[in-house]
Structure 1
Amino acid sequence: MAFDLQNIVRPKIYNLEPYRCARDDFQEGILLDANENAHGPVPQALLNTSLHRYPDPHQIQLKNAIAEYRNKTNSCDNIKEELTAENLCFGVGSDESIDALIRACCVPGKDKILVLPPTYSMYSVSSSINDVEVVKCPLIVEDNSFQMNTDAVHDLLKKDPLIKIVFLTSPGNPTGAKIETSRIEQLLQSWDKGMVVVDEAYIDFSGGSTAALVNKYPNICVLQTLSKSFGLAGIRLGITFSSKEMSRVLNAMKAPYNISSSTSEFALKAFEDSSLKAMEDNAKKINTEKLRLLKRLTSLKNVDDEHVGGLDANFLMIRIKDGDNELAQKLYYKLATESKVVVRFRGNELGCSGCLRITVGTPEENDILFREFSKILAELTAA
């Protein structure tokens, strides 16, 4: 395979020189180069912070910490080259990372992306904003596996050379199913006309990240976030792993100070040894609770006795009464308005008729969910 990134990334973006900002060269001393306010921040409670200074535009210390952790937890075989800071680019959440990849690779009004529904809707939203057409190739839903239909994807890519990005959500949202790495590698080996983007927002609940593959295949990008397993949704940090060449492109595109000092500070603490252990322990607790909650919910009358999709994320999906969307919607609404327990109705997604997606909470929250769920479901079906 003769993959050439210059044939994928838009020429003006590939050749883009990153904006040179005040903190590229010097970050210490009497800083009179960036038109900051030397009197410090307001309110007064923030005077002992450095929030009046622009943040580090490169975040090398944080990138090294993340790369080191992912190297330790790498499950991919035969990867000789380890991840380094040069493989990473940060975004304000994964949504900014998604948008950057589309802008880098797709000419507006011409190129296309491929998505595999049911999947995360932001791929399509970002494509619409960038005037990029969305092509769809459904996941395999008939056997409840929600795996990539590799043959169908290959056929579509062969027929349509304008597709420049394939977005794979693994583990999937709302499916909860991890895409088999062998299927991803098969796609990487057979297609050199664009980028394969693997969105791993929930990977710490299943393990087996594909991040290390960016140093084996130049045509893969892997997205991760601190919003899920790390419990840091509020700091908005998205991570893109890619080849060093692609990382250079993405870092040249980004706004110079897109990651705040506060975000960087909290993220660095999250990758300390004690924090990483706590994250892993919490992921194990969530996985244990997930199975307990699933067993209780699927034992109820008018709930299918098998979950929908996989169990590789921090949520599960169950189907109400053979796919009864009307009943599922009523249950969802009453749970939110009467019981103040909010889940997500997903019955309009492909292969998810009558389904509710339920995030796994604390044991106490899950007990309340089950109590209210069973009570309202019984009331609705007795009427």
Structure 2
Amino acid sequence: MKPFALTDILRPHILALTPYSSARDEYTGKEGVFLDANENPLGSATDGSYNRYPDPYQTAIKEKLAPLKGVRPSQIFLGNGSDEPIDLLVRATCQPGHDSILILPPTYGMYEVSAGINDVPVIKVPLTPDYQIDVPSVLKAVQPTTKLLFVCSPNNPTGNLVDREAILTLLENFSGLVVVDEAYIDFAEMESMTALLDQYPNLVVLQTFSKAWGLAALRLGMCFASEELIRILNKIKPPYNISAPTQKLALLALGRVAEKDRMVADVLDQRTVLHEKLLASPLVRRVHRSDANFLLVQFDEPKAVFDFLIDHQVIVRDRSKVTLCEGCLRITVGTAAENNRLLEMLKKYAESVTTTF
């Protein structure tokens, strides 16, 4: 394995940065007369008590989340969605206009967007036709200035798990951070890469409360990494990046793991049914295997099908112009009723085409 030292890839000024010290850094107790943060002492102009700043490090959530994920609380960073840690990782490591990140299209678009916002060049190495990592090409494309390598698994928009051995090869042969985005891991039959955090100091794992937990509106993302890197992310994040209502609701959800698991099981059942019924449609050329809560489906006439569905208020994502996704629509697995509505509209479109000819 290549030697790895976090200090070698961090921007020098980040190491020297003095972080903002909030009032809750200086006093972490729950009781007292709080005259330190210029808050409104009279309460809130709404239902509930929101006049006090929230815990800047979300301690209660991390203590409850850690045993569920098999990590230590000190290995957890919580962000405003996964987008916040993605952005912070870029800002912490990449000198604008100089350092680069490497992505594997087709993949989640925010890696490239975050790089663009920060004026960081992006190296692209496409996945193979079966949506796996072309490891030799990736390692060949890596530059001395490449600081981050993003791997989405299960991948968005293709839905498949990426070969674990390929990720391990990258971890062992890349001297920067390998960021494995596991937003959809709850729907896959594979252990999370978080189990390897202590073995690989250059591993970062992203997860989210948006998908399996059903908390997309809260915007709460999880980042698991070495304690050293977590300290850096805490150093450069906004002081109170996770609101008190979000923390309260996340804690409530963490007490209902069985409910989350039931929802995941229901989605997986519907995924199987939807996969089979889409395959039977004369409009469909291929339904790609999915380890996520969506299906990538290849149609003979994707644009026409997409427009027809939109006209009938069935909204899917057109991925037909994305690398290696030619002719494909990405379809989220809905409820049984929603999936049936989709299938009814596809049948109606097929009948209209047959009638025309």
Structure-2-length-normalised TM-score: 0.96
Aligned to 1:65: 64
Q: Which amino acid aligns with 1:42?
A: A
1:29-55 CA-partner distances (Å, limit 9, x unpaired) = 111110000111003xx2xx3301000
> How many Å separate the matches in 2 of 1:121 and 1:31?
43
Secondary structure (helix, strand or coil) at the match of 1:20 reads coil
Secondary structure (helix, strand or coil) at the match of 1:30 reads coil
Q: Alignment RMSD, CA only?
A: 1.2
**Deviation, structure 1 residue 119:** 0.6
**Deviation, structure 1 residue 300:** 1.2
Q: Which amino acid aligns with 1:168?
A: V
> How many Å separate the matches in 1 of 2:198 and 2:67?
14
Per the alignment, do residues 303 and 245 of structure 1 end up closer, same or farther by CA in structure 2, a change over 3 Å counting? same
Per the alignment, do residues 33 and 217 of structure 1 end up closer, same or farther by CA in structure 2, a change over 3 Å counting? same
* Alignment equivalent of 1:315, drawn from 284, 289, 294: 294
Per the alignment, do residues 127 and 380 of structure 1 end up closer, same or farther by CA in structure 2, a change over 3 Å counting? farther
Q: Which amino acid aligns with 1:29?
A: G
> How many Å separate the matches in 2 of 1:34 and 1:331?
55
Per the alignment, do residues 172 and 32 of structure 1 end up closer, same or farther by CA in structure 2, a change over 3 Å counting? same
**Deviation, structure 1 residue 139:** 0.5
CA contact 1:298–1:318 (8 Å) conserved in 2: no
Q: Which amino acid aligns with 2:271?
A: K
**Deviation, structure 1 residue 17:** 3.4
> How many Å separate the matches in 2 of 1:10 and 1:187?
22
**Deviation, structure 1 residue 168:** 0.6
CA contact 2:203–2:225 (8 Å) conserved in 1: yes
1:108-138 CA-partner distances (Å, limit 9, x unpaired) = 0101110100011111111111000111000
Aligned to 2:310: 336
Report whether the alignment pairs 1:293 with 2:259: no
Report whether the alignment pairs 1:20 with 2:21: yes
1:301-331 CA-partner distances (Å, limit 9, x unpaired) = 1311x323x311000011112xxxxx21121
CA contact 2:278–2:287 (8 Å) conserved in 1: no
> How many Å separate the matches in 2 of 1:12 and 1:220?
23
Secondary structure (helix, strand or coil) at the match of 1:23 reads helix
**Deviation, structure 1 residue 381:** 5.5
Q: Which amino acid aligns with 1:128?
A: G
Equivalent residues in 2 for 1:41-60, closer than 5 Å = 41-43=44-46, 46=47, 49-60=48-59
Secondary structure (helix, strand or coil) at the match of 1:93 reads coil
Secondary structure (helix, strand or coil) at the match of 2:148 reads strand
Aligned to 1:195: 177
1:64-118 CA-partner distances (Å, limit 9, x unpaired) = 21111011xxxxxxxxxxx111101111001111100000110001011101000
1:338-372 CA-partner distances (Å, limit 9, x unpaired) = x2110111100111111111000011111111111
Aligned to 2:88: 100
> How many Å separate the matches in 1 of 2:355 and 2:224?
52
CA contact 1:16–1:249 (8 Å) conserved in 2: no
Q: Which amino acid aligns with 2:180?
A: V
Report whether the alignment pairs 1:40 with 2:40: no
CA contact 2:125–2:137 (8 Å) conserved in 1: yes
> How many Å separate the matches in 2 of 1:178 and 1:378?
35
> How many Å separate the matches in 2 of 1:183 and 1:208?
15
CA contact 1:169–1:199 (8 Å) conserved in 2: yes
**Deviation, structure 1 residue 223:** 0.6
Percent identity, aligned pairs only, is 43
> How many Å separate the matches in 2 of 1:380 and 1:173?
31
CA contact 1:117–1:136 (8 Å) conserved in 2: yes
Report whether the alignment pairs 1:86 with 2:57: no
**Deviation, structure 1 residue 382:** 4.6
Report whether the alignment pairs 1:216 with 2:199: yes
Q: Which amino acid aligns with 1:349?
A: V
Secondary structure (helix, strand or coil) at the match of 1:356 reads strand
Q: Which runs of 5+ in 1 are unaligned?
A: 72-82, 322-326
Equivalent residues in 2 for 1:88-167, closer than 5 Å = 88-141=76-129, 145-157=130-142, 160-167=143-150
> How many Å separate the matches in 2 of 1:15 and 1:63?
27
Report whether the alignment pairs 1:362 with 2:320: no
> How many Å separate the matches in 2 of 1:329 and 1:23?
53
> How many Å separate the matches in 1 of 2:191 and 2:219?
23
Aligned to 2:4: 3
Per the alignment, do residues 369 and 302 of structure 1 end up closer, same or farther by CA in structure 2, a change over 3 Å counting? closer
Q: Which amino acid aligns with 1:372?
A: M
Aligned to 2:260: 279
> How many Å separate the matches in 1 of 2:79 and 2:355?
49
Secondary structure (helix, strand or coil) at the match of 1:147 reads coil
CA contact 2:69–2:194 (8 Å) conserved in 1: yes
Structure-1-length-normalised TM-score: 0.89
Q: Which amino acid aligns with 2:302?
A: A
CA contact 1:102–1:126 (8 Å) conserved in 2: yes
Q: Which amino acid aligns with 2:178?
A: V
Count of aligned positions: 352
Report whether the alignment pairs 1:29 with 2:32: yes
**Deviation, structure 1 residue 180:** 1.7
Q: Which amino acid aligns with 1:314?
A: N
